[in-house]
């Protein structure tokens, strides 16, 4: 089966780093990578442009995309990988959603450059919007300057308050299969404190993962979940963190808060966001 991945780019170093990560992650798989660039211009600005200037901008973007494709093919040299380029006049979110539907994309891989150049922010504003609104397929975000490491250990953070369907666990299973990885299920509570619903969901998740190497980790009721997760990542040498994005989830909370409040959760490893 040929995997289909979408790689959005603004031609930045951060976007290039995410592309390289994706190529290395799927080095042993047959893949089609779709390189996507959104050249949406604000209406107020566009009104001042002549059609001639607009066409010139698109022509320049096409040249940049063709150059990017050549560069990717040169550094990749993998016969099982093919590349397609896409340029959209829509904003990034709509461009991504359109590409997912048109090409049956299975995973979006993108960078997490901080807004306004402030590295401590949770994510760049574009990435936050994509995570909040794109529910068509999983999104793997790559921290700035992150060097590829084979994901031998993947963390899945949950509070067991929600029943996970098979389709929500499948992206983790597929990642695990790439490198025969171990899945570390992290619950920020004591096992003894699981209520009846949580205990049931725990058993269901355990059944989903019975064919995969996995371990459960139980953490006390710490005050700051963001810090606890990052500490867990460091202590357990986690290579990828995964969560399911649903109503009232941890992901929804940190993407809805003012950015300044989200400083505690900086993405220190690639972060897989799975839509419900």
Which residues have CB under 8 Å from 68's CB, separation 6+?
A: 9, 11, 35, 85
Which region, left, alpha or beta, applies to residue 23 given φ > 0 means left and ψ of -120 to 50 means alpha? alpha
Could you count the other beta carbons within 10 Å of the beta carbon of residue 59?
10
Poorest-pLDDT segment among 37-46, 97-106, 179-188, 259-268: 259-268
Kindly indicate the confidence band of residue 259, based on its pLDDT and cuts at 50, 70 and 90.
very low
What is the Cα–Cα distance from 97 to 95, expressed in whole angstroms?
A: 6
**Domain extent at residue 44:** 3-142
| One domain for residues 34 and 110 | yes
What DSSP assignment string belongs to 143-209?
A: -TTPPP---SEEEEE--S-SPPPHHHHHHHHHHHHHHTPEEEEEESS-GGG--HHHHHHHHHHHHHT
What total of structural domains would you count in the chain?
2
Q: Are residues 137 and 236 in the same domain?
A: no
Residue pLDDT, tens place only, 12-68: 898 999 999 999 999 999 999 999 998 875 544 555 556 666 777 788 888 999 999
Collapsed DSSP state (helix, strand, coil) of residue 30: coil
Contact indicator for 96, 36 with CB cutoff of 8 Å: yes
Residue 186 pairs in a beta bridge with 157, 217
Identify whether residues 17 and 121 lie together within a single domain.
yes
Check pLDDT > 90 for residue 145: no
Q: What percent of the chain has pLDDT over 90?
A: 49
Domain identity same for 130 and 208: no
Q: State whether 159 and 38 are in the same domain.
A: no
Q: Is residue 54 part of a domain?
A: yes
The answer on 161 and 48 residing in a single domain is no
Tell whether 107 and 204 lie within a shared domain: no
148 part of a folded domain: no
Do 112 and 229 have their domain in common? no
Residues 100 and 178 in one domain: no
Residue 55 lies in a domain: yes
- Whether this prediction's pTM lies above 0.85 is answered by yes
Helix (H) or strand (E) segment spanning residue 20: helix 13-25
The CATH number for 131's domain is 3.40.50.620
């Amino acid at each position: 089966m040929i995997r289909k991945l979408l790689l959005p780019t603004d031609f930045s170093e951060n976007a290039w780093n995410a592309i390289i990560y994706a190529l290395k992650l799927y080095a042993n798989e047959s893949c089609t990578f779709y390189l996507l660039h959104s050249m949406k211009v604000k209406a107020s600005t566009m009104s001042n442009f002549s059609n001639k200037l607009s066409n010139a901008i698109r022509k320049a973007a096409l040249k940049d995309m063709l150059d990017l494709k050549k560069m990717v093919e040169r550094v990749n040299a993998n016969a099982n990988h093919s590349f397609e380029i896409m340029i959209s006049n829509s904003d990034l979110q709509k461009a991504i959603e359109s590409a997912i539907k048109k090409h049956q994309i299975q995973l979006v891989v993108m960078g997490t450059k901080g807004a306004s150049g402030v590295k401590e922010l949770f994510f760049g504003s574009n990435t936050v919007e994509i995570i909040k609104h794109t529910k068509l397929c999983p999104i793997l975000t790559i921290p700035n300057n992150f060097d590829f490491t084979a994901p031998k250990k993947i963390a899945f953070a949950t509070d067991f308050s929600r029943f996970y369907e098979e389709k929500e666990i499948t992206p983790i299973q597929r990642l695990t299969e790439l490198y025969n990885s171990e899945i570390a299920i992290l619950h920020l509570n004591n096992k003894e404190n699981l209520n009846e619903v949580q205990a049931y969901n725990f058993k269901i998740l355990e059944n989903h993962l019975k064919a995969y190497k996995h371990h459960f980790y139980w953490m006390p009721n710490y005050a700051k979940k963001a810090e606890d997760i990052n500490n867990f990542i460091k202590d357990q040498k986690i290579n990828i963190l995964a969560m399911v994005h649903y109503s009232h989830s941890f992901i929804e909370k940190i993407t809805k808060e003012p950015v300044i409040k989200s400083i505690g959760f900086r993405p220190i490893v690639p972060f897989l966001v799975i839509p419900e």
